[in-house]
Every structure is written in structure tokens, then in C-alpha cells.
Amino acid sequence: MTLLEQSVLNNPVEKWLLAIGIALVATFALYVLSKVLARSLSALHGKIPGELSQVLSDMLRRTKFFILFIVSIYAGSRVLSLPTTLATSLRYLAVILAAIQIGVWAGFLVTKLVSEYVIRRTDKGEVPSGIAVATLIGRVIVWAFIILLVLDNLGFNITTLVAGLGVGGIAIAMASQSVLADLFASLSILLDKPFKVGEFIIVGDMLGSVERIGLKTTRLRSLSGEQLVFSNGDLLSSRIRNYKRMQERRVVFTIGVEYSTAYEKLRHIPQMIKEIIESIERTRFDRSHFMSYGDFSLNIETVYYVLAPDFNTYADIQQEINLRLFERFEKEGIVFAFPSRTVYFASDDKRDLKMQLLAKEEVASS
């Protein structure tokens, strides 16, 4: 009997050599194929629209040589007559490792595509927020599907498992609904973008610049310096005023002049204010009217627009309007009103006459 005809574990040596050859050739072929495909896809980058070719190339570079080797060993073992337990163990190992490799590929693909999607929706120069939330959810879904697929191939009844997971998921969701609400609120902020990091917002009676959008909370820095922390769920259920996205600022201000102001000067004040506002850049005049009689002043109400959202720009323009208005009033002899009260006293003659009348009444009554 020749060496090739000798039996090892109920298989001739020539079959063992064939199995080893198949395993080595399959390992080498799969590894080389993954490298060639990765290089070819990378070479297509820029020649076809989008980033898909580069993403697929990077994905294939994450192929694990050890997994290819084990799967190839299982492929070679198919020509052998192995004990049922060993053959089943090899098959289970190959299925598990193949599923892990698919999970690595799919996880990278989901992470990359989601990240690219978020970056595309983010303004240039802004640090993308919420990528971790979206990629975490994507990877959880991918690996949950991979695990169920592996269990199904291993012969487990996943119907009962899925039903149990559903019941368990409901229980977990009810126990941690506030955490999940904040998590999905964070995802909603990421996709809908009611505000972004760096923007100035008002929530109720609190205001500040957005510093960080996290998985559970969003943090603002107030004007007075302290940090404000909001849960994402509460934040989205509130009415938010986003001043960063204001295109222009509407300004209303009122001035008061004394009641002693001459009619012609009073009539000319709205036109005077209009000329001042129109002479200042980045403003649009709307109206100016003598609106009401106050307790101690004649009130002129003015409305104009600052063609910029920045508060400092508005403050500079309003200051310039006030200074020019003060200068014009000084030249025209118009006086700004201030809280005052006028008290009139009766003359001495009238007082003496009144005392005489009272005296006569007393004499007549007596």
C-alpha cells in the first residue's frame, strides 16, 4: 500500500492533501480577489459620480485574512468524510465567522454612508453633531440582523426568539422611555436641524448659544456665563426661537417730546426721523407716526428694519440714530419729555375772596 493510499481518520492521505490544497488555494484566491477588487474600486474614484467606489474599496480592505482561512478550511473539509460532530462544528464555525465578516463590512458601510449623509447636510466649516447617534443605531440594526441570520443558519427557531425579543423590547422601552425619547429626539435634531452648534436660541425664558448636542442632553452657554442643560425630548417639545437664522431684525422704538412743543415742529418730527434712518446703511425705514398722548409726553413711534441679524450691528445702528436725533432736536429746539407734574396755585386775591364768602355764610347762619 502506497503512502497516498494509507488512511488517516477514515480518509486516504490523497484526500487530505486535496482538502489542504483546496483550503490553501481558496484562501489565496479570496485574499487576492479582495485586494484586487479594492484596488480597482479605488482607481475608479473620481471617474464615477459620488463616493461609492471609494467606500466599497475601503470596505473590502477590512477583510480579515483569518476568517478567509477558516472558511477555506471548511470548504476543503467538504471532500473528507469527517465525524458528524467535527463536520457540524466546522460548519458552525465557518457560518459564524462568515457572518462576522459580513457584519464588519456592513457596519463600516452603514457608518460611512450615514457619516457622509450627515456631513452633506452640515454647513461648511461646522462641526457635524449627532453622527455618533445615527451610526450607533445603524450598527445596532446591522448586528441584530446578523445575529438572527446566524442563529437561523445554526438551526435555532428564531420565531420564538424574535417574539421574546419583542416582548422584552417593549418592557425595556417602557422602563427607559425617557432615555429613548431623548435618544430619538437627538436623532431628530440631527436630521431636521432646528438649531446647530454655535447658534443663539431662546427656549421659554432661557437663552444662550448652543455648545453641544449630545445623545441625551443639549447644552447652552447663557449670556451671563453659566451652562444651561436641556434634555433633548423636553427641548423639542418646547417652542424654540432661533436668532441665528433671522434674516433681518425689526426694531420698534418710541420717543416722547414735551407738550409745549410747537405744532409745526411736532408735525415735522416723523419726517426728521425718516431722513435720519434712511441716511444710515443696512437699514430699511418702515414708518414713523405721532401715536399717542402720554401722561407727560407726546409719543412718536418709529419702526425700521436692520438688514442683518447680528445684535451688535443693531445696537450700533440704534446708537447712531439716537445720537443724530439728539443733535437734530438740539438744533430745532425740541425738548425730550421726562416725567414731570405741574401744580397750579390760586392767587392771593382769589383766596381772600373765598375767605370773605365763607365768613358771610357763617354770619348768616348765626
N-term to C-term CA, the chain: 165
What pLDDT sits at residue 149?
Answer: 79
Q: Which domain holds residue 298?
A: 246-366
Q: Helical H runs in the chain?
A: 13-43, 52-60, 65-77, 84-120, 131-153, 158-175, 177-192, 232-236, 263-278, 311-332, 348-365
How far lies 137's CA from each of 99, 120, 238, 329, 330, in Å? 19, 19, 25, 65, 68
Q: Which of 210, 228, 244 is the last residue of a domain?
A: 244
CATH of residue 233's domain is 2.30.30.60
Residues 41 and 149 in one domain: yes
Is 105 contained in some domain? Answer: yes
Beta bridge partners of 55: none
Residues 169 and 42 in one domain: yes
Query: How far apart are the C-alpha atoms of 295 and 342, rounded to whole Å?
Result: 12
Is 221 contained in some domain? Answer: yes
Residues 207 and 289 in one domain: no
Answer whether 0.85 is exceeded by the pTM. no
Residues 273 and 238 in one domain: no
What pLDDT sits at residue 191?
Answer: 73
Q: What is the pLDDT along the chain (366 residues), one digit of tens a residue?
A: 455 556 666 778 788 888 889 889 999 998 899 888 888 888 877 666 667 778 888 888 888 888 888 888 888 888 888 788 888 888 888 888 888 888 888 888 888 877 776 666 655 544 455 566 667 777 888 888 888 878 877 777 777 666 666 655 555 555 456 666 777 777 777 777 888 888 889 998 888 999 888 878 889 999 888 999 998 888 888 888 888 888 889 999 999 999 999 999 999 999 999 999 999 999 999 999 999 999 889 999 999 999 988 888 999 999 999 999 999 999 999 999 988 766 655 555 555 555 555 555 554 554
Contact 183, 177 (CB under 8 A): no
Is 260 contained in some domain? Answer: yes
Residues 271 and 232 in one domain: no
Is 293 contained in some domain? Answer: yes
CB count within 10 Å of CB 266 equals 16
How far lies 247's CA from each of 67, 199, 244, 336, in Å? 57, 14, 8, 33
Contact 197, 242 (CB under 8 A): no
Is 352 contained in some domain? Answer: yes
What pLDDT sits at residue 133?
Answer: 65
Residues 170 and 259 in one domain: no
Contact 225, 263 (CB under 8 A): no
Contact 321, 272 (CB under 8 A): no
What pLDDT sits at residue 120?
Answer: 66
Residues 132 and 153 in one domain: yes
Number of domains in the chain: 3
CB count within 10 Å of CB 232 equals 23
Sequential DSSP letters for 244-284: GG-SSEEEEEEEEE-TTS-HHHHHHHHHHHHHHHHTSTTEE
Residues 84 and 117 in one domain: yes
Is 316 contained in some domain? Answer: yes
Residues 230 and 331 in one domain: no
Residues 211 and 199 in one domain: yes
Contact 98, 71 (CB under 8 A): yes
Sequential DSSP letters for 138-189: HHHHHHHHHHHHHHHHTT--HHHHHHHHHHHHHHHHHHTHHHHHHHHHHHHH
Query: How far apart are the C-alpha atoms of 116 and 54, rounded to whole Å?
Result: 12
Is 1 contained in some domain? Answer: no
